[in-house]
């Protein structure tokens, strides 16, 4: 009788076990390491695009007296590192668009502001002919595959901020530029933009009516302050925080009245309120 030789069978079973172990390791790598690395890539992109949006904000707010166009590049999405065996999801993308620029109720204006020189006073006449200008904002929304619940980044009224809608909180990424001492700076944002991509887009900021002339005004009614009104999506608490350094008791020009910075309802525009800022400039 011949003896049974099982050495070939042992080798075959061992090879199957090694192959199964490799498959298991690759599956674990695909399920855990790849998502973690891709989430880090997306987070890094989020930080980079916020810096690019800050450049866009600076291009808009510094447009005074400049007739030249300014071009800003924004990286809307990102790709993932190449992998030999593992699989990546499709590239992450993002959307950049204007909001409320076609809504005439989203505007800013000054009340009780009277120009000091006669020629300009024909226009800035202290409120008998109210002056309001339409404006709007810009919103960037990323579409990531792994970075859960990233914020939308919003520009409006000189402020760039992150809106964490799932938490109901906002984080300012820039200072405000509406009020600086005895200077009020208002830039109307108009036009229409909507771009979605996983690549880079270039935006041209074009001044329609830019002047370097500063107009001196005073409160037309001595008992009433010059009042700035601006349509906004930011909360009253956030505006009070942003404008705190401009209060008269801090060396600025905003009234010390507790309600000198407040928000009021803005009818017909969901998500918006009217920011009211009371200033009392020296005359």
State the Cα–Cα distance between residues 239 and 178, nearest whole angstrom.
11
Q: Which two tokens stand for residue 107?
A: 């505007």
Mean pLDDT of the chain: 88
Q: Which two tokens stand for residue 197?
A: 């991509």
Residue 2 belongs to some domain of the structure: no
pLDDT of residue 1: 46
Residue 1 belongs to some domain of the structure: no
Q: Which of 239, 77, 245, 66 is nearest to 58 (CA)?
A: 66
pLDDT of residue 211: 64
pLDDT tens for residues 142-173? 999 999 899 999 999 999 999 998 888 999 99
pLDDT of residue 67: 63
pLDDT tens for residues 40-56? 999 999 999 999 999 99
Q: Which two tokens stand for residue 25?
A: 């390791």
Residue 263 belongs to some domain of the structure: yes
Residue 128 belongs to some domain of the structure: yes
pLDDT tens for residues 223-235? 888 999 999 999 9
- pTM surpassing 0.95? no
Looking at the DSSP bridge assignments, the partners of residue 131 are 110
Residue 182 belongs to some domain of the structure: yes
Tally of structural domains, the chain: 1
Neighbour count for residue 138 (Cβ, 10 Å): 23
DSSP letters along 200-217, please? EEEEEE--SS---PPPPE
Per-residue pLDDT, averaged over 171-199, amounts to 93
Domain range enclosing 254 = 7-279
Residue 88 belongs to some domain of the structure: yes
pLDDT tens for residues 198-224? 999 999 988 877 666 777 888 888 888
Residue 269 belongs to some domain of the structure: yes
Name the least confident of 31-40, 67-76, 253-262: 67-76
CB-based burial, 169-179: b 16+ in 10 Å, e otherwise: ebeebbebbbb
State the Cα–Cα distance between residues 162 and 140, nearest whole angstrom.
9
Q: What percent of the chain stands above pLDDT 70? A: 89
Residue 144 belongs to some domain of the structure: yes
């Amino acid at each position: 009788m011949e003896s049974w030789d099982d050495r070939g069978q042992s080798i075959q079973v061992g090879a199957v076990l090694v192959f199964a172990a490799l498959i298991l390791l690759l599956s674990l790598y695909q399920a855990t390491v790849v998502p973690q690395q891709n989430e880090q890539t997306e987070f890094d992109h989020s930080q980079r695009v916020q810096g690019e949006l800050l450049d866009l904000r600076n291009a808009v707010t510094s447009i005074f007296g400049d007739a030249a166009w300014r071009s800003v590049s924004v990286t809307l999405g990102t790709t993932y590192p190449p992998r030999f065996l593992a699989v990546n999801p499709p590239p992450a993308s993002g959307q950049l668009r204007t909001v409320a620029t076609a809504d005439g109720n989203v505007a800013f204006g000054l009340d009780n502001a009277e120009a000091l020189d006669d020629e300009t006073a024909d226009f800035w006449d202290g409120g008998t002919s109210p002056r309001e200008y339409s404006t709007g904002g810009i919103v960037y929304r990323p579409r990531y595959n792994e970075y859960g619940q990233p914020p939308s980044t919003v520009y409006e009224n000189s402020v760039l901020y992150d809106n964490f809608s799932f938490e109901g909180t906002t984080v300012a990424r820039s200072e405000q530029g509406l009020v600086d001492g005895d200077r009020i700076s208002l830039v109307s944002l108009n036009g229409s933009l909507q771009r979605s991509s996983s690549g880079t887009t270039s935006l041209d900021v074009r001044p329609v009516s830019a002047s370097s002339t500063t107009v001196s005004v005073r409160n037309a009614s001595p008992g009433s302050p010059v009042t700035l009104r601006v349509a906004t999506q930011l909360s009253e608490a956030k505006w009070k925080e942003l404008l705190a350094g401009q209060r008269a008791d801090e060396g600025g020009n905003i009234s010390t009245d507790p309600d000198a910075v407040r928000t009021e309802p803005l009818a017909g525009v969901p998500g918006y309120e009217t920011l009211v800022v009371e200033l009392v400039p020296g005359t």
